[in-house]
Structure 1
Amino acid sequence: MSSKKAKKPLYEQSTQFRHWRFSSSQLENIRTQTNASAVERVKRLLTEESALRETEQTDSPRPPPEEIPYLIADEELALCRYYEAMIRNFPGANFPDEVKATAIVYMKRFYLRNSIMDYHPKTIMMTCLFLGAKTENNIIAISDFLNIIERISREKISRDTIFRHELPVSQSMRFEYAVHHPYRASFGFFLDLQNFTKDLTKLKRIYEKSKEYIGTSLLTELVFIYQPSQIALATIRLATKTLETKLDINGYIRSKFPDKHEKLTDILDDIENTLTNFSPVSKDQAKEIDRKLHFCRNPEKNPNSALSKKRRADKQREREVRKTKRLKTLRDQQKELESVFQ
């Protein structure tokens, strides 16, 4: 009699486990390819834009498309990281950690397959935060959300800006909204460690510190490479070191995972090394990349560009042509009916 097949853990049944796990080299290759494709596309569109502007004889000169210093993959990643950090530190709405974590993961997934030369991360950041709030059942009215954004950024944001980008973001994520992040796993370890130590005061300090490290981990590649439980355990181990507590976390790991202890230790070491060596993107770095981005943004995404105006005019002409054809068809049908009844 065959034994029943063991049921997979919940995380291993998730779309995150199946579709959003990569090695460091895979991530680098994906971003390099996305960037190269964007540069080729934007250069072609800027050439078309330049020709249209010459025809219209505009007074705002721009460098020729072939002379523009286009962004490289590392610059795109750096600007994304800067706006991811803005989500993490987002004030004014009292969003819980889970909402911010989900929004950051959405943003990471979106920019694996999209370029900031097509979609500015400021807009995508706001869209991901709004989507993340809905996913984590922390729904906020769009009017209230926009009021918070405007109060912080002092910029008037249209609700259409958020709604218009919800579909591209969702499509890029394959409509896979569920996110498993380390906060829940960290809380599980906090509860389990209460069977390992009776010093709850010390344990609570470790748990709170581990959540700070989880916030840092969300700004790295770790969420694509390791399981949430592995990241959570690494942050707890790192917190015990940082706070210089006497909790025997390595003893806990050996007793909890006796058959996987050595391999797990290597994973935790790598996660810890990433966290301790993490360096945030400064505001000056972000500004420099943003200045460079100004000259190499996709003109099709700018409603005021000559290319966008031409595209809209072309679509309007197409609509007029289709309308004229439909009217002609209706008139012909009417004449045919009239001839039958004469």
Structure 2
Amino acid sequence: MEDQLYTTTTQCKTWSFGPSTLSTLRSSTNAAGVRSIKRGWKRARLEASSSTNTPLATTPIPSSSNSTPIPIPPSDPSSIPDPETLTPSEELTLVNYYMLRLMAMSDVFSFPSSVKATACVFLSRFHLHHSVHSYHPKHLLTTILFLATKTENNYLSTAEFCKRIPKLTPEAVLKYEFKVAGGIGWDFEIRHPLRGADGGIMELLTALTSNNPDPGLQALKDKLGQTPSRRVTDAAGKMKAFLTKEALVSDVYYHYTPPQIFLGALYLADKELAEAYIEWRFGENSTMGRPLKKKKKEKKGKEKATEEDSSEASKKPPALAPKLIPAVIACADMMLKAQEYEKIPVDVLKRIDKKLHRCQNPQKFLGAGSPIGIGNEVAPPAKKHADEAAVSAPPEKKRKTEEDMFGGALR
């Protein structure tokens, strides 16, 4: 069975979690991000305090209205409180919002569903271990989408990729590629339910147009009405919409296998069709997912072999449908709840982003310090300053650096 093969994959072993484990992991990631913000604000406050104690900060300046000097009152950095940090739920809300933006960006390029799905999973996995306090998702979207095109063999050159987005440069696209790749654990292969869904729909259409006398298939046809193929085709379109949106924004990739996600989306598209299909393939009379019988050598004639066959039949494993249907329903409910993220008011998203902006930019509120997180880095020094530093370096050290084919030592 495909699920048995799935349990051997890296995706199952590394990226499958129970609900409580996933919640704990997100809380730990949030706590690490909060600590980085507090460290950054502590450094900025120390820098601001030291700068306010310098003579320059208290030097009187002439007033524009009279000749009496008016001193500049030194600001008190300690009077400015630390910013309010994001909660784990707010982080998840922000990530899911930018996931929807990532889907829209993929549609601008007219990328196939596999590229869109892979990009969304990359973004979700990255922020599972990296807080938005340190890595704002808006700075990663183009890098992640470009990485997904290469993963799904839909590669574009950076020049062609940048033509579709105004003011985007190849340097900006590639700037965080290594960081993103490491952030997802270098696990590029993703097993999407889309592939299994296409196979399941083809299997249904082929079976419904055949003359197979199988009683289970006949029961399936009877449940689907007079135009079963048309019903399957209509359900397939709705199912794909769920797989390329709700399944990606929700947490089903962390809790369920690709076949279960496919069946969950089919359940949302057509409940009766999904239940009939599960019963046909995994019901009492189906052999799907059951171990194949090994042929035994005849030892004492035909009568003994017949007795062994009957005993094997009595040991037939139970049907999978009774266990599978509850899991499929739970998966479908989780996808359905993901629609709430589209209904979040813009004011709520702006408030969360404003909180994050304050966290990442202590220099704007304390007058000292440096930005926190990628996308907020201070620009590197100009080339002129680098050349001046090289000129002022000791001659011996400069000579060794020039002779080293790989440049000087990293610092």
Q: Give unmatched runs, 5+ long, in structure 1.
A: 1-5, 151-155, 242-246, 331-342
* Structure-2 separation of matches of 1:60 and 1:23: 50
* Structure-2 separation of matches of 1:15 and 1:48: 40
Q: Is 1:301–2:354 an aligned residue pair? A: no
In the alignment, which of 71, 91, 95 is matched to residue 76 of structure 1?
91
Q: Is 1:132–2:141 an aligned residue pair? A: no
* 1:122 matched residue in structure 2: 138
* Structure-1 separation of matches of 2:255 and 2:12: 10
* 1:256 matched residue in structure 2: 281
Once the two structures are TM-superposed, the CA of residue 62 in structure 1 deviates from its matched residue by: 8.7
| SS class of match (2:176) | helix
* Structure-2 separation of matches of 1:62 and 1:211: 54
Once the two structures are TM-superposed, the CA of residue 68 in structure 1 deviates from its matched residue by: 0.9
* 2:198 matched residue in structure 1: 187
* 1:110 matched residue in structure 2: 126
Q: Answer whether contact 1:46 1:65 (CA < 8 A) is retained.
A: no
In the alignment, which of 259, 263, 270 is matched to residue 229 of structure 1?
259
In the alignment, which of 20, 36, 39 is matched to residue 25 of structure 1?
20
* 2:62 matched residue in structure 1: none
Q: Is 1:51–2:46 an aligned residue pair? A: yes
Q: Give unmatched runs, 5+ long, in structure 2.
A: 58-73, 210-227, 284-318, 362-370, 401-411
* Cα distance, 1:60–1:77 mapped onto 2, change above 3 Å: farther
Q: Which moved more, 1:83-92 or 1:22-31?
A: 83-92
Amino acid at match of 2:236: Y
Q: Which moved more, 1:40-49 or 1:216-225?
A: 40-49
Amino acid at match of 1:253: I
* Structure-2 separation of matches of 1:172 and 1:203: 40
Amino acid at match of 2:275: N
Q: Answer whether contact 2:252 2:335 (CA < 8 A) is retained.
A: no
* Structure-2 separation of matches of 1:304 and 1:229: 41
- When the two structures are aligned, how many residues end up with a matched partner? 310
What is the percentage of aligned positions where both structures have the same residue?
28
* Structure-2 separation of matches of 1:8 and 1:136: 22
What's the RMSD between the two structures over aligned residues? 3.4
Please list the CA deviations of residues 47-85 of structure 1 after superposition, one character each: whole Å capped at 9, or x if unmatched.
212333455579999996743111111111100000111
Please list the CA deviations of residues 286-308 of structure 1 after superposition, one character each: whole Å capped at 9, or x if unmatched.
22211111011272436877xx5
Q: Which moved more, 1:199-208 or 1:293-302?
A: 293-302
In the alignment, which of 168, 177, 180 is matched to residue 179 of structure 2?
168
Once the two structures are TM-superposed, the CA of residue 116 in structure 1 deviates from its matched residue by: 0.9
In the alignment, which of 349, 371, 377 is matched to residue 286 of structure 1?
349
| SS class of match (2:185) | coil
Q: Is 1:272–2:332 an aligned residue pair? A: yes
Larger Rg: 2
* Structure-2 separation of matches of 1:61 and 1:100: 49
Once the two structures are TM-superposed, the CA of residue 172 in structure 1 deviates from its matched residue by: 1.4
Q: Answer whether contact 2:267 2:329 (CA < 8 A) is retained.
A: no
Once the two structures are TM-superposed, the CA of residue 168 in structure 1 deviates from its matched residue by: 1.1
Amino acid at match of 2:229: L
| SS class of match (2:341) | coil
Q: Which moved more, 1:225-234 or 1:40-49?
A: 40-49
Q: Answer whether contact 2:91 2:132 (CA < 8 A) is retained.
A: yes
* 1:37 matched residue in structure 2: 32
Please list the CA deviations of residues 139-198 of structure 1 after superposition, one character each: whole Å capped at 9, or x if unmatched.
112122223232xxxxx3332222121111111111110011111111111011124434
* Structure-2 separation of matches of 1:157 and 1:270: 41
* Structure-1 separation of matches of 2:396 and 2:77: 43
